[in-house]
Amino acid sequence: MKPDPQDRWKVRRRLIFGAAVFGALMILAGGIGLFGDKFTGELVYGGVTIISAVLSAYAGFATFDDKWQGNGENPDG
C-alpha cells in the first residue's frame, strides 16, 4: 500500500504525538515521585529532554521536507 502523497506526515505525527505523551507521563511520574520522598528528578529531566528533542526534530525535518519536496511553490501559501 502506497502512502497518501497529500499526507506524508501522518505516521510521523502519530510517532511524535506518542513521544510527547511519553515525555509528559515521565514528567508527571517524576513530579508525583518527588512527593513520595523518591529521587525522581531524572524522570522530569528526561521527559523535558524528550519533548524538546521531538519538537525540535519535527520542526527541523518539516522545514527540510518542505524545501526538498517543493515544486516551485511557497509552502507557506
CA 35 to chain centroid, in Å, comes to 28
C-alpha cell at 23: 515525555
Can you give the pLDDT at residue 71?
A: 63
In whole angstroms, give the CA distance from residue 37 to residue 7. Answer: 47
Task: List, for residues 3-44, the tens digit of each pLDDT value.
Answer: 666 676 777 888 889 999 999 999 998 888 888 777 788 888
Domain boundaries, the chain: 11-67
CA torsion, ordered 59, 62, 64, 67, to nearest 10 deg: -130
pTM of the model: 0.71
Q: How many residues does the chain have?
A: 77
- Give the model's pLDDT for residue 1: 55
**Look-up of cell digits 523518591:** 38
